[in-house]
Structure 1
C-alpha cells in the first residue's frame, strides 16, 4: 500500500494522561507535516488542538467514556456534546463493558444510541475492547453497534490490555459486512502491522505511533 493512502486511513492519536500542552502542540504540528486527516486527543485538549488544526482542514476527534466505559449514559452524552462544542467532529466512545458482561444488551444499545444521537450525524465509533470479550460477545456487540447507528466498530483503547489482531479484524469485518467501518487500534506499531489490518478488513487505523508507522520504523507507543 502506498504511504499516501495509508496516511488517509490513520487517526493519529495522543491520549496519554500526562501529555503536556507542549507535547500536544508538537503532536499537532506533526499531523500537519505528515498530512493526517484526523487526530484524537483527550477532551480537555480538544479546543487547543482545534485551534491549531482547523486552519489546515484536519479534524479533531475525542474519546468518550474513556478508558473504562463505565460512565453513565447521561455523562457520555454530556461529554459528547461538550466535545463537539469545543471543536470535535469525530467521536470514539467506549462501550459499557459491565453491561455487556451482564448480558444487559438493551442497556448497551441505549448507551450507544444516546451518544450517536448526541453526535448529531458526526462520525461515531464504538470501542469494544476485543481482548476482554469472547467470540459470542464480539458478535453480539458488533450487531448492537450496527443497530444503534454508529459508523464504526473499533477494537481497543490500548489501555486495557490487548489490542487489534488480524483475527479480530476479520471477524468484525465478516459480521459487519461493510454496513459499518472497522477501526483497528491498539498495538499497531509498524507499517507492516497497519497493512495487515487493512488487508484483513480494517477501514481505519488508530495509532499514536503513526509517524513511526509511515516512516516504517517500530514505535514504542501502544495507546
Structure 2
C-alpha cells in the first residue's frame, strides 16, 4: 500500500472547505503517508506547519482554476507558495493561448513559473477537456521545453477529467524524465492501477482513503490488484 500511497496527491482544493476540513485532510494525508497534499494557496502555511516532519509534501496551485491570470501573477503565486513551505506547484496553462496556437507565449508563461518556483516541482495542468489531441500534445511539448516536471490532465473543475486516451497521448509526447499526473475522476484503486500501467506516476484524488483502504484490504487478503477499470469523468 505504501508504494501506491506515494503516487497520490491528496486534493484539498474545493473552495468551500473550512479550516477544520483542511486540518482533517492534512491529518488523513499524514496517516496514509501519501506523496503530498494539494491545498489552496491561502492554506499553504497551515498545511506546512501541520505536515512538517511527516514526509508528506505540501503542494498548491497557481493560476487556478482557469489559467488566465497574468504570467507575473502566476509567478508571484509560485514564489510566495514556495517561500511559505510548498514543495510543489500545479499551475494551469493559459488555455486560450494554447487553443489559439500561441505556443511561444504558453512556453514563456510556464517558464516564468518554473523559474519563480526556484527548484520546487512544477506540474502543468493542461485542462484537456477544452483541448484537441494536437493541442494536448503541443501543450505537453511546451511544458517540457519550459522545464516543467509534470504534465497534468485537469483541474477537476472542468466538464471532464482524466481519460486513458489523453494520458496515453501525454505519456507518449513527453520524455521519460517528465512525469504525467492524472486528476479528475480518479476515485477507485482499479482506475489508479489502470492508469499507472500506462505510465502515470502521480494522481490527484479526494477519494484517497477509499483507494488506499482497498489496497490494504487486497494486500491483507493476498488478492491480486485488479486493473482496467474505465475512469470516471468529474471533479477531484
Task: Verify the 8 A CA contact 1:46 1:62 in the aligned structure 2.
Answer: yes
- Per the alignment, residue 58 of structure 1 pairs with 56
Shift of 1:193: 0.6
Contact 2:9-2:36 within 8 A present in 1 as well: yes
| Deviation at residue 43 of structure 1 after TM alignment | 0.5
Kindly state the Cα deviation for residue 58 of structure 1 after the two structures are TM-superposed. 1.7
Aligned position for 2:235 = 222
Q: How many residues align?
A: 220
Show CA shifts across 1:119-177 (max 9, x none).
Answer: 11111100001111001101111110110000000000110121111111111111114
Partner of 1:111, secondary structure, is helix
- What residue is the counterpart of 1:98 in the other structure? 96
Mapped partners of 1:180, 1:85: distance in 2? 24
Gaps of 5+ in 2: 216-231
8 Å CA contact 2:162, 2:184 repeated in 1: yes
Please name the residue that 2:219 is paired with.
none
- Paired with 2:92 and 2:177, the residues of 1 have a C-alpha distance of 20
Q: 1:44 aligns with which of 37, 42, 45?
A: 42
Per the TM alignment, residue 65 of structure 1 is displaced from its structure 2 partner at its CA by 0.4
SS of 2:6's equivalent in the other structure is helix
RMSD of aligned residue pairs (Cα, Å): 1.6
Unpaired segments ≥5 residues, structure 1: none
Partner Cα separation in structure 1 for residue 131 and residue 177 of structure 2: 22
Aligned counterpart in structure 2 of residue 29 of structure 1, from 21, 27, 30:
27
Q: TM-score, normalised by structure 2?
A: 0.90
116-125 or 208-217: bigger deviation: 208-217
